[in-house]
């Protein structure tokens, strides 16, 4: 039976990297007779410009009809002066995540040996690095109500957000984390700020309670400030990290740099049934958009995750990942992962090289 994939190129570097992902998917579709149907949709600033809102009704329909969604990135200075709820990030990306209930965000940070030089840490600290950050994606301070900017009694403006998790939300993401840990190194570190924030005191209590059901998993807890430090001090101590929405956002960027570049990091955002949206961890990088220098590999690797997790095509995902390794072996690097002695390539050349490696 044919599978439907919805591609949402979004903004900034999104369209350029999506084009390369598209090439890769067209290639595997043909090469392995996958019978995948592709469709494109509008989200973010592009959707505001063309359809009047960051997450138009038509895109919502397309999302529901799709077996999996591949999203590039959204946002840019052009839309930064809109009211918060209408902006590409809140009105587009957060809306999709929330309406599709994609609460489980898996962000693997793996160091490709070929890129050890590109890491900001010494090679011995990062060689063999393989961390998985499980980030809660549809709750916490990103979504808590009330939120806003108001004028207080003294006539002074104040901005406010609400950091809230209920125990069901914590259990739901905790389950993903424990189960993922079971399939990996059986080590789970839950990151919170339980020395200060009640919401994470509850978080810690629930995760601790859940650990009784997973006696094989070695559970530890860490405050987020320490976790940030440990990620840079000795990143290989981690296997799986589970944390809330905002801490996960921050720690996954830090973890990205350990692997050389955020341009290499894919992610999967899954609902309770495992249906998902796949997105690179990076943003829309408006400063380099349109120059043909963005790294398409995070999104190509996100497509591989999609084939594996949502489309039941793990062997093809393996092929794409092997093709990415092959181009790295050839010394091809986009600007973000370039180091002396390697060959600097454009976005398009990188996509072409992955396709060529697949054909071999």
Which positions are annotated as active-site residues? 142, 193, 225, 249, 253
3-class secondary structure, 76: coil
Q: Per CB under 6 A, does 283 bind ligand IPM?
A: yes
Cβ-contact 235, 129 below 8 angstroms: yes
Binders in 56-85 for ligand IPM, by CB under 6 A:
75
Q: State the Cα–Cα distance between residues 360 and 349, nearest whole angstrom.
A: 17
Member of 67, 89, 192, 321 binding ligand IPM (CB under 6 A):
89
Q: Residues touching ligand IPM: how many (CB under 6 A)?
A: 6
Region of residue 128 (left: phi > 0; alpha: psi -120 to 50; beta: else): left
Compare residues 3 and 282 and give the one whose CB is closer to Mg ion.
Answer: 282
Compare residues 137 and 317 and give the one whose CB is closer to ligand IPM.
Answer: 137
Q: What is the DSSP string of 83-125?
A: -GGGSIIIIIIIHHHHHTT--EEEEEEE--GGGGGGSSS-HHH
Q: Shortest CA distance to 102 belongs to which of 305, 307, 269? A: 269
Q: Which does 11 bind (CB under 5 to 8 A by kind): ligand IPM, Mg ion, none?
A: none
Q: Per CB under 6 A, does 11 bind ligand IPM?
A: no
Considering the complex, what minimum distance in angstroms separates the CB of residue 159 from ligand IPM?
17
Compare residues 239 and 249 and give the one whose CB is closer to ligand IPM.
Answer: 249
Residue nearest to Mg ion (CB): 249
Q: State the Cα–Cα distance between residues 230 and 235, nearest whole angstrom.
A: 6
Binders in 244-263 for ligand IPM, by CB under 6 A:
249
Cβ-contact 45, 123 below 8 angstroms: no
Q: State the Cα–Cα distance between residues 158 and 165, nearest whole angstrom.
A: 23
Helix ranges (H only) for the chain are 14-31, 45-51, 57-65, 95-99, 123-126, 167-183, 198-210, 224-233, 245-258, 297-309, 314-329, 347-359
Q: What is the DSSP-derived secondary structure letter of residue 278? A: E
146: preceding bond cis by omega (within 30 degrees): yes
Sign of CA dihedral 221, 224, 228, 229: negative
Considering the complex, what minimum distance in angstroms separates the CB of residue 265 from Mg ion?
10
Residue nearest to ligand IPM (CB): 89
Q: Per CB under 6 A, does 336 bind ligand IPM?
A: no
Q: Per CB under 6 A, does 281 bind ligand IPM?
A: yes
Considering the complex, what minimum distance in angstroms separates the CB of residue 277 from ligand IPM?
11
Q: Per CB under 6 A, does 16 bind ligand IPM?
A: no
Q: Which does 89 bind (CB under 5 to 8 A by kind): Mg ion, ligand IPM, none?
A: ligand IPM
Q: Which does 42 bind (CB under 5 to 8 A by kind): Mg ion, ligand IPM, none?
A: none
Q: State the Cα–Cα distance between residues 219 and 114, nearest whole angstrom.
A: 32
Compare residues 71 and 219 and give the one whose CB is closer to ligand IPM.
Answer: 71
Member of 21, 72, 93, 316 binding ligand IPM (CB under 6 A):
93
Considering the complex, what minimum distance in angstroms separates the CB of residue 166 from Mg ion?
24
Helices 297-309, 314-329: inter-axial angle, 10-degree rounding: 160
Compare residues 177 and 255 and give the one whose CB is closer to ligand IPM.
Answer: 255
- Contact positions vs ligand IPM (CB under 6 A): 75, 89, 93, 249, 281, 283
């Amino acid at each position: 039976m044919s599978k439907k994939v919805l591609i949402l190129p979004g903004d900034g570097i999104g369209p350029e990297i999506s084009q390369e992902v598209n090439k890769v998917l067209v290639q595997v579709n043909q090469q392995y007779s996958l019978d995948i149907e592709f469709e494109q949709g509008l989200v973010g600033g592009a959707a505001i410009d063309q359809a009047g809102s960051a997450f138009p009704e038509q895109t919502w329909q397309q999302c529901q009809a799709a077996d999996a969604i591949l999203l590039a990135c959204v946002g840019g200075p052009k839309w930064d002066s809109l009211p918060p709820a209408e902006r590409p990030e809140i009105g587009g990306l957060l809306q999709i995540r929330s309406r599709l209930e994609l609460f489980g965000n898996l962000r693997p940070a793996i160091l490709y040996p070929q890129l050890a030089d590109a890491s900001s840490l010494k090679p011995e600290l990062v060689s063999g690095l393989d961390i998985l950050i499980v980030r809660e994606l549809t709750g916490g301070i990103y979504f808590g109500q009330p939120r806003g900017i108001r004028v207080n009694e003294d006539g002074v403006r104040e901005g406010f957000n609400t950091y809230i998790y209920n125990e069901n939300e914590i259990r739901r993401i905790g389950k993903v984390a424990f189960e993922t840990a079971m399939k990996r190194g059986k080590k789970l570190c839950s990151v919170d700020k339980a020395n200060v924030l009640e919401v994470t005191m509850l978080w810690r209590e629930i995760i601790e309670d859940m650990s009784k059901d997973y006696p094989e998993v070695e559970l530890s807890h860490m405050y987020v400030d320490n976790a940030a430090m440990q990620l840079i001090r000795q990143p290989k101590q981690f296997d799986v990290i589970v944390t809330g929405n905002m801490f996960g956002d921050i720690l996954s960027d830090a973890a990205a740099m350990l692997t050389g570049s955020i341009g290499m990091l894919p992610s999967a955002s899954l609902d309770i049934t495992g249906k998902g949206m796949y997105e690179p961890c990076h943003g829309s990088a408006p400063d380099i958009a349109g120059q043909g220098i963005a790294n398409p590999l995070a999104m190509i690797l996100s497509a591989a995750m999609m084939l594996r997790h949502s489309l039941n095509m793990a062997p093809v995902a393996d092929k794409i990942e092997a093709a990415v390794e092959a181009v790295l072996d050839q010394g091809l690097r986009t600007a973000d992962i370039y180091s002396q002695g390697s060959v600097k390539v454009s976005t398009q050349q990188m996509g072409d090289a992955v396709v060529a490696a697949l054909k071999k």
